[in-house]
Chain A
Amino acid sequence: MSERLQELLDAAFPDAREVAVVDRTGGGDHFHVTVVDGRFGGLSLVDQHRLVYDALAEPLADGTIHELRITTRGEA
């Protein structure tokens, strides 16, 4: 399941410096995703996280993702 999230994020953030997906519990439904992308520069954290939610809309809607932690950064 981590691979599916990784693919969705890679597709949504093709120029990201870093995209990481961690299965926090090993159960395939609690994830921590990290995206570092220059396009976050100037966006509020709310808008940064919304872009990640948009990318993962399908697994969020179908219940695949039970819990999601998000870390986003613009490139430092």
Chain B
Amino acid sequence: MSDLRGRIKDTIEREPVVVFIKGTHEQVFCGNSDRALQALRGVGAGFTTVDVLPDPRIREELSALSSWPTIPQVFVAGELVGGADIVQELAMTGQLEATLDERLGESWRRPGDERTVSVTDGPGLRVVPGG
């Protein structure tokens, strides 16, 4: 397993709710990624996001792990819940809260508790202006 794939896997297993998106929780660059985050915010869930944009290999390794071709991808307790359409549909029918309750107990109710983590190895892959 590549180091990158290992870090992605660790993140999925470590974070109660993790969403792989284009952008960060503070600045989303894709309407579908935003829909997934809004669905989670709508039920008052805290979550961690991972930006797939810094390196195309993040998305490749993630899709290889999850057998899911598109972004965003929402994982709860280490398991893929779906992309934007599914999470939005689950939120509308009350099943998103039920899924979170079932897998995480009450601990997911952390409105506004949002952060972004990196799965790349340090800042080495970031584009440095003039560099």
How many A residues have CB within 8 A of the partner chain? 13
Known contacts A46-B80, A49-B82; decide if A68 and B89 are in contact (CB<8 Å): no
Asked if B69 is at the interface (CB within 8 A of a chain A CB), the reply is yes
Asked if A50 is at the interface (CB within 8 A of a chain B CB), the reply is yes
- CB of B61 to closest CB in A, whole Å: 16
How many B residues have CB within 8 A of the partner chain? 15
Complex A-B: 30 CB contacts under 8 Å? A45-B82, A45-B86, A45-B89, A45-B90, A46-B68, A46-B80, A46-B81, A46-B82, A46-B86, A49-B82, A49-B83, A49-B85, A49-B86, A50-B67, A50-B68, A53-B68, A53-B69, A53-B70, A57-B69, A60-B69, A60-B70, A67-B31, A67-B32, A68-B70, A69-B32, A69-B84, A69-B85, A70-B83, A70-B85, A71-B85
